[in-house]
Chain A
Amino acid sequence: MSMSLIESLLGECKRREVAEAHLRLCALLLMYSSVPGRGVVYLRTTAYRVPVQKLLEDMAGLTGGDKRGLMQKFMKAVGEAVAELKREVGGVASAENLRRALLRRLLEELRKLA
Chain B
Amino acid sequence: MTPLSPIKSDLERFLLGWERREAPPPPGVYVAAAGYHGRLVEDYCARYHLIYLVAVYDRDGVCQDLYQCCSAPPPADAPSRCFIFGDVEWREELAEKCRVETYLYKFDNIKEALMRLLEFGMHVRGIPCTDFSIDVLKLTGWCEVDPICCDVSAVKEKIVESAVRRRASQYTSSGGEERIIGAPSGEAAAGSETGGVEDGCEELIRRAAEVLGADVGRLKTCLCR
Contacts and interface: CB of A to CB of B under 8 A. Distances in A.
Partners in one complex: yes
Interface of A: 1, 5, 8-9, 12, 15-18, 20-22, 25, 38, 60-62, 94, 96-97, 100, 103-104, 107, 110-111, 113-114
Given A17-B164, A20-B163, A96-B1, A111 B148 contact: yes
Nearest to A105: B128
9 contacts: A17-B167, A21-B167, A61-B181, A61-B182, A61-B183, A94-B3, A96-B3, A96-B37, A100-B127
Contacts of A21: 159, 162-163, 166-167
A107 B148 contact: yes
* A-B pairs, 7 with minimum CB distance: A61-B182, A21-B163, A103-B128, A1-B130, A17-B167, A18-B163, A17-B163
Contacts of A100: 2, 126-128, 131
Contacts of B40: 38, 94, 96
B203 interface: no
A112 to B, nearest CB: 9
Contacts of A113: 155, 158-159, 162
Nearest to A38: B37
Interface of B: 1-4, 35, 37, 39-40, 126-131, 146-149, 152, 154-156, 158-160, 162-164, 166-167, 181-183, 215
Given A18-B159, A38-B37, A110 B131 contact: no
Classify the interface of chain B: helix, strand, loop or mixed: helix
A104 B131 CA distance: 10
B163 A22 contact: yes
Contacts of B181: 16-17, 60-62
A111 B149 CA distance: 9
- Candidate in A17, A25, A61 with the most chain B CB atoms within 10 angstroms: A17
A6 B163 CA distance: 18
B168 to A, nearest CB: 9
Given A21-B166, A60-B181, A113-B158, A15 B215 contact: yes
A31 to B, nearest CB: 15
Contacts of B159: 9, 12, 18, 21-22, 25, 113
